[in-house]
Amino acid sequence: MHYGLLEVHAPVLPNYVVHVDYKGKGMTERARDQRIDPRGLPRIQYDHRFHTMFHLDYYTSVILARNPVVAKSQWIDWKYVRELRKSSIDYAIATCHRTGVYTLMEFVHDWNSKVIAQFYATLFVEEEPRRMHWMLEGQWYSVDYDAFVAFLGFSEEDLQRDRIHTKHVLPLEQLAYMYPPGGERGAVGKVVGLHPTYRYLDRIFRKTIDCKGGDKGNIANYSRNLLHRMSPGAQPFSVFDFIWSEIRSVGERPLKGCGFAPYIMYMIEKVIGHTFEYDKKHKVLKMVDDLIEVGVAPPGPGGAAEADAPESGATAAGASPPPYAPSHSSSCRRSPPSPIRKMFNAIFGMCRDIQTKQQRERGRLGGRTLGI
């Protein structure tokens, strides 16, 4: 079934109905307290899309007040990014490979703003079992944690990794290692002054796996923890659980934007079994390589520049750039070389050794001749 285009519009209510502005000062906790299971409560009659007055007021005062109503998600064309041929960006690509976020950033799916807006206005998240519930055009729908995982194609390995949101938000001082000396001066917690690799990663995340609007100049809340997990030697984390937890957080915090639209839209269509007409196109992020290289690889918390270079290794930026990260079409699980390939590799290796020795001998003899 195809739903067609659902349009975003404000509810029309009688004048005597009292409204609550959940975008006002100090309303975050009140909004969070209202995120209870509403399905057993009496249903309002003013608007068929919502079950309670909280849903209606949150939709009107918070979601419709945003411009745009849904945060602008974009996807990454890694081929285009690799062709920028910049050392700090190549380190960022390699880091995305290591941490398991690379493939998801290529995910493309358009969305319908009204569907996403109704999802966030009515969202209720159970913790045990882990399940999301929401309303769409007057009907309740649900998705289990494991089902959402399967829709987005995450592996069991991802689910076994550490969950970022079980930890506290990192204090700013723990990000200090990301600001190399000699770079652009900026306060810790600001994007200005970040090592260019971390700053490129921050730009990518804000449009993909951490897309929820907000102040672009600051690294806030769990965005700090996410960026920290990009550092060399950082503990692997569950990418899906980060997205699940951030979606839940958006529903609880009025100041956050309605992000993650492509993932939510895809999941909803899988759950409902219907498609919608989309009013927003999921566009590619055209990264701009406008940051100055600082001459060192992205450091880790210990200060050592042990960056996640591509397979053949990388030296510090400013000396010679690292090899470019492999394309999405190349597999990380490479097959072992065949016996024939091993034989040819051995022959070519011998030839290279003989050629190198000859060049060294000619250089040695040439040096003696010049000394006569």
> Per residue in 129-156, pLDDT tens?
999 999 999 999 999 999 999 999 999 9
Which pLDDT score is estimated for 85? 93
What's the confidence (pLDDT) of residue 221?
Answer: 93
At 351, list the tokens: 């030839």
Is pLDDT above 70 for 345?
Answer: no
Q: What is the pLDDT of residue 343?
A: 45
For residue 351, is it left (φ>0), alpha (ψ between -120 and 50) or beta? alpha
Query: Which residues have C-beta within 8 Å of that of residue 246, sequence separation ≥ 6?
Result: 210, 212, 222, 259, 260
Give the CA count within 13 Å in the CB-facing half-sphere of 106: 15
- Residue range 254-276: average pLDDT? 91
Tell me how far apart the alpha carbons of residues 290 and 283 are, in angstroms, rounded to a whole number: 21
Report the percent of the chain where pLDDT is more than 90.
Answer: 56
**Is the model more confident about 321 or about 91?**
91
- pLDDT value at 327 more than 70: no
If phi > 0 it is left, if psi is from -120 to 50 it is alpha, else beta; for residue 162 that is: beta
- pTM as predicted: 0.78
Residue 269 · residue 275 · CB < 8 Å: yes
Task: Give the C-alpha separation, 275 to 39, whole Å.
Answer: 25
| Residue that the structure tokens 């591509």 belong to | 310
In this structure, are residues 255 and 31 in contact, taking their beta carbons and an 8 Å threshold? no
Q: Is the pLDDT of residue 340 over 50?
A: no
Q: What is the pLDDT of residue 212?
A: 79
- pLDDT tens readout for residues 59-88: 988 888 888 889 999 999 999 999 999 999
pLDDT of residue 7: 57
**CA 44/CA 51 separation, integer angstroms:** 6
Residue 287 has pLDDT above 60, yes or no: yes
> Of 129, 130, 133, which is closest to residue 119 (Cα–Cα)?
133
